[in-house]
Structures are given as structure tokens and as C-alpha cells.
Amino acid sequence: MVKYTCFSTFRKSEERMGKFKRVLVMEVESAKDKNPETPGGKYRRDTPWLVESFKKKGVESDVLFITNVDSADSLASRYPDTAFLGRVNPMDYPGVISLNEYIAILRGLDRKGVLLEPIPEYIDRLDSKMILYELRDTTMGSEGILLHLYDNMKRNVGEVNKILPKGGPPRVLKMMRGSTGLGVWKLENKSDDIIVLTDAYTQKTEDVRRDEVLTKFCQLCQEDAISMPFLPLIKEGEFRFLMSKDKILEIVHKRPVDENAFTAMLRSGAV
């Protein structure tokens, strides 16, 4: 698998940094996408690098953990002469901040002219696995990808049999948002009544009654989801090309944590 990650941050930062004394990189403290190799294991993989890069440009920089108590007005008032860069994986963080609240902060900061990235109008599309469903009938897509409405999963009347037909091959159920395997479950038939569930985030496997799979999944997932055939080659990992314009900054080969893992994304850190 090949994935391209293009950083436009520094192009826009170069244009705007002269206006500001400081750049604050926004994260959510309780998010599950932290990299253990960052200081204290508290940050996303590239956040410390971003902070240091801003400092090398002669701009003060630090990490700011945001919650639903914050707003664009309060942040702009508390931190004058400051630009903001969002590094929040776009999803709900129960009890901390919702996706809509995060987008509201971004839009407010953008209106004030103090937002570097991301563009609020596009944030709902970022990191959403809906793209897998939308590309299903193209040469880039995979066959057998299905969309499952949250209400149907919550109702739990026959939906699990669409996700994993009895006697069928393994399939993967994915919530729309999440990184490092969060909300990605491999499902395999053990019998007509029992499904073997492997969680990509924890790499733990357990037997679950067929009629309890979606009840358990909806405790984690609060929106629509997709399901698709399990693709064995995912165990070989993926290549990520980190780019700025047409320049490759880094090539990363993300491999599974061990031979039994079915994903290369476990605790990999989001970029």
C-alpha cells in the first residue's frame, strides 16, 4: 500500500509567520494517536518536529491542548500575536471536544486570520474512510465495500449478517474516523453464532456472539461505518511518502508489530 502525505503547512506558514510572534500547535491531550517516542509520549509523531521547525524560523512555538471550553475568541484573546495550527485527528473526543466544536474553533480562527492549517471547509473530509466507499467502483477501489448507517447498526436487526455473512470469508468493520487502528475490527466466522473479533488498535482477539458484535461496536462508534473484505497483503505494511509540493521529505515503511498482527498501523503515530 502506498500513501502520500503532502504538507502545505509550511508554504502557508512562510507567507504568514511574519505577522505573528508565536505559533501554537493544537492537539487533544486524551487522543489515542500519540507517539511513544515524543517527549513524555504526549504528542503526535510530527508535532515536536513542527514546533522546532517554527523556532528555527525565529518564531516562538509550543503545543496547546484544547477542549470544548476553548473558543476562537478565547484563544485569540488569551494568545495575542499568535497563529494556530491544528493537529487534531478529526473525530469526536467524548467529554473533551467534539468534531463540530473543533471545526467551530477552526472557522473562528480562520475568520480572524490567525489559522495556518487545516482549512475548515475540508476538515470533514480529512481522514474519513468514506473515501474507500466512494472509490469502490473505480480502478483504485476494492470490491465488496459496504456502507452501514449508524441507526441500522444501533437497531441491530440483521445488519451484522450484511457485514459478515454466515460462512463467508473474513471482513473488516471500520468506523469512519480514527488512527492507529482505532475502531477497526477484523471479523471471522467461528460458527453461525460466534464471531472471532480482532481489534486492530489493541491487537487482542476474542470470541463474541454474533448478535452482540454491533452492540459492542456502537459503544465505540457513534457514526456510520463501512465494512470490506479483509485484504491479506495489508500485513506487509505500507509505504508513506511525506511530501512538500514536489519534494519528498521522507519515505516511511510502516510494518506490522509482529507476524500475528493484521495491520501496520498499531501505535504508528499519525502524520
The pLDDT tens digits for 172-187 are: 999 988 766 778 999 9
Residue-range domains of the chain with CATH: 7-123 (3.40.50), 130-230 (3.90.70)
Beta bridge partners of 186: 172, 198
pLDDT in tens, 192-232: 999 999 998 888 899 999 999 999 999 988 889 999 999 88
Task: Determine the longest span between alpha carbons in the chain, in angstroms.
Answer: 64
Query: Would you state the pLDDT for residue 207?
Result: 97
> How far apart, in whole angstroms, are the C-alpha atoms of residue 217 and residue 153?
9
> How far apart, in whole angstroms, are the C-alpha atoms of residue 100 and residue 91?
9
Residue with cell 457485514: 163
Q: 9 pLDDT exceeds 90?
A: no
pLDDT in tens, 86-122: 999 887 888 999 988 999 999 999 999 999 988 887 7
Q: How far is CA 255 from CA 37, 38, 80, 268, in A?
A: 17, 19, 43, 9
Cβ proximity of 12 and 20 under 8 Å? no
Find, among 102, 109, 104, the residue nearest to 87 by Cα.
Answer: 102
- Please state whether the predicted TM-score (pTM) of the whole model is above 0.75: no
Query: Would you state the pLDDT for residue 127?
Result: 66
Phi, psi of 150 (to 5 degrees): -60, -45
Beta bridge partners of 199: 185
